[in-house]
Amino acid sequence: MHPIYNTKMNESIIDELSARVKALSAKTEQEIEDLRVRLLGKKGEITKLFEEFRTVPAEQKRLFGQRLNVLKNEALQQLNALRESLSAGDSAASGEDLTMPGDAMPLGSRHPISITREEILSIYKKFGYSVAEGPEIEDDWHVFGALNFPPEHPARDMQDTFFINNQTDNNILLRTHTSSIQVRTMEKGQLPIRVVCPGRVFRNEAISARAHCIFHQVEGLYIDKNVSFADLKQAVLLFAQEMFGPDTQIRLRPSYFPFTEPSAEVDVSCNICKGKGCNICKGTGWLEIMGCGMVDPNVLEANGIDSKVYSGFAFGMGVERIAMLKWQVKDLREYFENDVRFLQEFATVV
């Protein structure tokens, strides 16, 4: 027998500890914690008995181990009972039932711009488009030069740009459109291209109900062999019907963009008055949602794509504009003021 182990002595110690455990009492949390450390801490009395377990003869290990486990469980149960008793006493003293479930916390909601953005992206993902993103701080080439904006071209005045003063480079700016992401995608040279480009853009405009210096866009680009304007029209129609309903109609009006030719503005039939005319569509029965067009061959060539082999189309829409039409929110500033009462209106939108 191992000289350290003494059967009668250790059994006597277990019996004594068991009696003491059953008689434990405490008036504070600190006293309960002190009891736990004294019994079950690293140097606790019960812990020491577990350390002696390795000295027990093999034929007695089972019985000794069972008694130790019973003792440990008794100690844990007694300590928990003391905590519950103390908690119940505090509850009674305060007049509150601490076992009652707490008040439900009010849940927040997703921002309407995020909801609209994800809905737009989910539609185009179903059409086989992937999502591409890029930096908000850009250079002149990616925002203007690669998109057929010559340095002195008057089209640059269409977008009042925020330029960033930089001692080493005067061509750093906040992007005015997410077309810069399209440029970065074309530069990779991995054809065909079918992407949508969401993001925040910046223009130096006076803030009003219908304009803001910060807003969000989703632009799309499709480049492949034999892409036609008919493909563009079909892509726009399918999106409009997915977003606004299967009965939605579209019309295309000639327009101008430096990076597409021909170009068009896209209107959808008003989903409020069903084309009859209302204050939302200003009596016309139509609502403008995006611009689009066939990618100008100069843009393809500037980005290393052979315009004699490939063609493509591009489109772009303002997320705030789509959200405004979807929920009839007439003031763009509502989206940026973070009024909780306004945001709570979208708590049930999935």
User: How large is the C-alpha radius of gyration of the chain?
Assistant: 36
What integer pLDDT is reported at residue 168 of this predicted model? 62
Q: What is the pLDDT of residue 293?
A: 97
Q: For residue 328, what are the CA distances in angstroms to 117, 272, 300?
A: 16, 9, 38
Phi/psi zone of residue 306: left (φ > 0), alpha (ψ -120 to 50 degrees), beta?
A: beta
pLDDT in tens, 169-217: 668 889 999 999 999 999 998 999 999 999 999 998 888 887 889 999 9
Residue type present at position 171: N
pLDDT at position 200: 95
**Range list of H helices, the chain:** 7-22, 29-40, 45-52, 58-94, 112-126, 140-143, 179-187, 229-244, 297-302, 319-327, 340-344
CB 77 within 8 A of CB 20: no
Distance CA 137, CA 201 (A): 10
pLDDT score recorded for residue 143: 92
- Give per-residue pLDDT as tens, 259-306: 999 999 999 988 777 777 777 777 888 989 999 999 999 999 999 999
Instruction: Give the type of residue at 302.
Output: A
pLDDT at 46: 84
Strands 311-318, 130-131: pairing is: unpaired
Q: What is the pLDDT of residue 212?
A: 87
Smallest CA-to-CA distance from 218 within 140, 139, 322, 333 is with 322
Instruction: Determine the Cα–Cα distance for residues 239 and 245; give it in Å rounded to an integer.
Output: 10
Distance CA 198, CA 216 (A): 7
pLDDT for 3 equals 43
d(Cα 36, Cα 311) in Å, to the nearest integer? 77
List, for the chain, all residue ranges whose pLDDT scores fall below the cut of 50: 1-5
Superfamily of domain 112-344: Bira Bifunctional Protein; Domain 2 (3.30.930.10)
Residue 53: alpha-carbon gap to chain centroid: 54
Please tell me the distance from the alpha carbon of residue 195 to that of residue 199, in angstroms, as a whole number. 13
- Determine the pLDDT at residue 1: 38
Q: How far apart are the first and last CA of the chain?
A: 72
Contact 266, 239 (CB under 8 A): no
